[in-house]
A and B are shown apart, each in its own frame.
Chain A
Amino acid sequence: MTHPIPPGTRDVLPDEMRELRRLQSALAETFATRGYGEVATPTIEYYEVLARGDIGGGEQREARGRSPHGAPVAYRFFDERGELLAMRSDMTIPIARLVSSRFADAELPLRFFYIGTAYRAVRPQRGQMREFMQVGVELIGAEAPDGTAEVVEVLVAALDAAGLSRAVVGLGDADLYRQLLAEIGVDDEARTSILDRLATHDLVGLEGEIAALGEIGDAERETLLRLPNMRGGEEILAQAHELGGAAVERATSRLTATYEACAARGVAERVQLDLGLLRDLGYYTGAILEVYDPALGHVLGGGGRYDELMGRFGAPLPAAGFGLYLERMHIAQAEEERIGGGS
């Protein structure tokens, strides 16, 4: 007799579990040898705490009337005392909460890693999971660019430990496009719809929005059009520099510094600079990361800097981290083995 489970959830049987455990312990060891300590937080939190961390992101998504591409919309419910609770939709905000309550006077930087389930209220009709495993690190109290580069180095080590040596880390800047629009003097309404086009990868719509902007110069128009497509190696920085403009200059110098710090740690060749990168979470500032593997059509994970997030919990500290989808890593791993095994 078959008893159903909710769509977007699943059972794990011994064969898969064995492989998942092997992957988890390879990753845990990678993090531990680099001085990261494992933490766990509750699956349920007060909704107010999670919402405090995601200011901006939730509003942006709500303005769009949907939750594109797995952006976290939390499951919420009332407990028996009438408190509004939520299932955690990622681990970064709970860890920010934990650090501000438990490590207020600790010596910096703090290095944590986690392996745990997270929950998102997606419509689970196309393989999107409502419950999934995330693994990642948070480095708190280490500034850009070196803190960012350490996170990239740990990320690359984690990908290698999983056998994903072809995986690439996209590195962009969360503030670049927003600041550029502000600097050019694009009004709020147009800015929101332009950023929305960029966030949903609608470059045709973006071109239309930019064409509809009245009083901007040709050079500025050109910059807005070209940036989202600029991705590649070190040469991107020189190309961006040529485009000019103070916002581009600021972002480019931030990215250059991060890229050089990555080079100093020997991981620059795994990094793809990407000026069109934008992430959907409300807490990112400065550097943002995305992870791609050629064996998988979906993003493996992402991260970046969130220098303002800790401040929202009363402990203003620079911070950065990444999170990887464990199940997707497992699929990519199986695919890479299939290709590489070459039997």
Chain B
Amino acid sequence: MKSTLEGARRPRGEGPLRLALPRGALFDGALDTLDAAGIDTAGPRGDSRALIFKTPELTLVTMRPSDVPTYVEAGSADVGITGKDVLLEQRDRAVYELLDLGFGACRMVLAGRRGDTSLGESERRLGAMRIATKYPRTAERYFESTGRQAEVIEVKGSVELAPLVGLADGIIDLVDTGRTLAENDLEVREEIAQCTARLVANRIAHKLRAAEVDSLAERLRAATSR
């Protein structure tokens, strides 16, 4: 029986490497990097709503950036591209982090309302800050590692809202230009990490398909250092 998704249903360990490609903010940068490495990206660049695109050397599987570690850890993708912010948040995913691809640079920051003292005030008087974030585990680890207590409140949508309406004293979020922060009267108080796009690999693929994984990593390394 022939399936139209033949490339995706093949047994593991055979055929071209499967690369998990992040849709969203990192999508264009990832495609540009693949182009620079000489990999055909016409498929995902088109307006097809397909999720899987086959090139002679790679099968490209598109997904949300935060799903990339899930697919790669399970071996459903051999390699993948995702943000360091995602990897920090999902730190217990057992994947190889092979290469800093350089694009998609952002900062993970702690921000509070401009001129507002409630962050320090809460810590001093109440013993803990209330922090809203989409990155609860990154936030908890950050406060733990800096010896402070915080009540971490997980939100899914616009984090900037939380301090404006009093849900939290501050936020931990990923900041690109800082415009969204500024427009919501927020300012960066502490920088937690620099985040760029990373190449990750499944642990088994890294061993059993070593030559292919290494050669892809080398090509992408050359493409990003240009």
Binding site for B on A (CB under 8 A): 65-66, 68-69, 166, 168, 170, 200-205, 229, 231-232, 272, 274, 290, 292-299, 335, 338-339
The smallest C-beta distance from B47 to any residue of chain A, in angstroms, reads 32
Whether B202 sits at the interface, judged by CB under 8 Å, is: yes
Complex alpha-carbon distance, A290 and B208, angstroms = 12
A339-B11 CB under 8 A given contacts A203-B98, A274-B207, A298-B204: yes
Which residue of A is nearest B93, CB measured?
A126
Whether B73 sits at the interface, judged by CB under 8 Å, is: yes
Which residue of B is nearest A200, CB measured?
B91
* Chain B contact residues: helix, strand, loop or mixed: mixed
CB-based contact A294/B144 at 8 Å: no
Complex alpha-carbon distance, A201 and B98, angstroms = 8
Complex alpha-carbon distance, A170 and B214, angstroms = 17
CB-based contact A294/B97 at 8 Å: no
Instruction: Name the interface residues of B174-226: CB closer than 8 Å to any CB of A.
Output: 198, 202-204, 206-208, 210-211, 214
CB-based contact A201/B202 at 8 Å: no
Among B91, B95, B204, B210, contact of A294 (Cβ-Cβ < 8 Å) = B204
For B100, list chain A residues within 8 Å (CB): 204
A202-B97 CB under 8 A given contacts A294-B12, A294-B13: yes
Which residue of A is nearest B72, CB measured?
A297
A201-B204 CB under 8 A given contacts A65-B144, A68-B92, A231-B210: no
Whether B42 sits at the interface, judged by CB under 8 Å, is: no
Q: Mark B58-93, 1 if CB is under 8 A from A, else 0.
A: 000000000000000111100000000000000110
Complex alpha-carbon distance, A331 and B205, angstroms = 17
Chain B interface residue count, Cβ-Cβ cutoff 8 angstroms: 30
Complex alpha-carbon distance, A297 and B206, angstroms = 10
Q: Which of B73, B95, B198, B208 has the most CB of A within 10 A?
A: B208
Whether B96 sits at the interface, judged by CB under 8 Å, is: yes
Complex alpha-carbon distance, A290 and B75, angstroms = 17
A168-B207 CB under 8 A given contacts A65-B144, A204-B98, A297-B73: yes
CB-based contact A292/B96 at 8 Å: no
Which residue of B is nearest A230, CB measured?
B210
CB-based contact A166/B13 at 8 Å: yes
The smallest C-beta distance from A284 to any residue of chain B, in angstroms, reads 18
Whether B164 sits at the interface, judged by CB under 8 Å, is: no
Complex alpha-carbon distance, A68 and B93, angstroms = 8
29 residue pairs bridging A and B, Cβ less than 8 Å apart? A68-B92, A69-B92, A69-B94, A168-B208, A201-B97, A201-B206, A202-B97, A203-B98, A204-B97, A204-B98, A229-B214, A232-B210, A272-B208, A272-B210, A292-B207, A293-B204, A294-B11, A294-B12, A294-B204, A294-B208, A295-B11, A296-B204, A297-B75, A297-B204, A298-B74, A298-B75, A299-B204, A335-B11, A338-B11
Among A65, A295, A298, contact of B13 (Cβ-Cβ < 8 Å) = A295
Complex alpha-carbon distance, A297 and B203, angstroms = 7
Complex alpha-carbon distance, A166 and B11, angstroms = 13
For A298, list chain B residues within 8 Å (CB): 74-75, 94, 203-204
For B11, list chain A residues within 8 Å (CB): 294-295, 335, 338-339
Complex alpha-carbon distance, A189 and B11, angstroms = 44
Known: A69-B92, A297-B74. 16 other contacts (CB 8 A): A66-B91, A68-B92, A168-B208, A201-B95, A201-B97, A201-B203, A203-B98, A204-B100, A232-B211, A292-B208, A294-B14, A296-B75, A296-B204, A298-B75, A298-B203, A299-B203
Whether B105 sits at the interface, judged by CB under 8 Å, is: no
The smallest C-beta distance from B116 to any residue of chain A, in angstroms, reads 31
Which residue of B is nearest A206, CB measured?
B97
3 smallest beta-carbon distances between A and B, as pairs: A297-B75, A294-B13, A339-B11
Whether B39 sits at the interface, judged by CB under 8 Å, is: no
Complex alpha-carbon distance, A293 and B13, angstroms = 9
Whether B99 sits at the interface, judged by CB under 8 Å, is: yes
Which residue of B is nearest A229, CB measured?
B214
The smallest C-beta distance from B198 to any residue of chain A, in angstroms, reads 6
